Chain A
Amino acid sequence: AQSVAQPEDQVNVAEGNPLTVKCTYSVSGNPYLFWYVQYPNRGLQFLLKYITGDNLVKGSYGFEAEFNKSQTSFHLKKPSALVSDSALYFCAVGYGGGSYIPTFGRGTSLIVHP
């Protein structure tokens, strides 16, 4: 079985400060990891993914995430937050070993204050 946890329901950060949205996972094989963002009244949009290779993955809108196998984490980061980054962020995991059904976290609401 696979699972993903987003331990924070909400993250607050001031504009211009670095932000981190946390994600940890549990899979039985090699993890495939995704981050998606959801703006109000919109569907989810893809930000970035880790399949293999470099542990630091760069994605859309200046976001990046670091795959840490020993800590089973895939935290989302951005060096300088913008008010427009305020949204709901979802981490998703799949192990690619036969299941085509991804498991999503409960989501973390990011609020960037001016």
Chain B
Amino acid sequence: GAGVSQSPSNKVTEKGKDVELRCDPISGHTALYWYRQSLGQGLEFLIYFQGNSAPDKSGLPSDRFSAERTGGSVSTLTIQRTQQEDSAVYLCASSSSTGFQETQYFGPGTRLLVL
């Protein structure tokens, strides 16, 4: 079946502009994660959605970052007033249910470059 998809695959923007990144999880997956991958820094957790529960936003680095998940499916990560340090690859992952024993399925990522 279809895997996790993300769009756009690449995004170049100017400092101060807002950007929206989209994630389409695997159909039926209730858990959705956003991560940021910077060169040499591994994966940095940003936000976690589980079903209809309130999202865990503990990883968002600043109030410029926000995310929503509509209808328990598609998610959008928004970065307002982008800064150069926001340049990174943003990865989305979904899993079939809650609990860390579940395997995460990752999308190909969105490479963001802020000039």
Contacts and interface: CB of A to CB of B under 8 A. Distances in A.
A105 B42 contact: yes
Interface in B1-16: 4, 6
The size bracket of the interface on A is 20 to 34
A101 to B, nearest CB: 5
A109 B43 CA distance: 14
Contact of A94 (B41, B50, B58, B100): B100
Contact of B105 (A46, A99, A104, A107): A46
B50 to A, nearest CB: 7
Interface in A91-113: 94-96, 99-107
B98 interface: yes
A42 B45 CA distance: 18
Given A44-B106, A107-B42, A100 B101 contact: no
The size bracket of the interface on B is 20 to 34
A43 B108 contact: yes
Nearest to A49: B103
Contact of A106 (B4, B42, B58, B99): B42
Contacts of B56: 100-101
Interface of A: 9, 32, 34, 36, 41-46, 49, 51, 90, 94-96, 99-107
Interface of B: 4, 6, 31, 33, 35, 40-43, 45, 48, 50, 56, 58-59, 91, 93, 98-101, 103-109
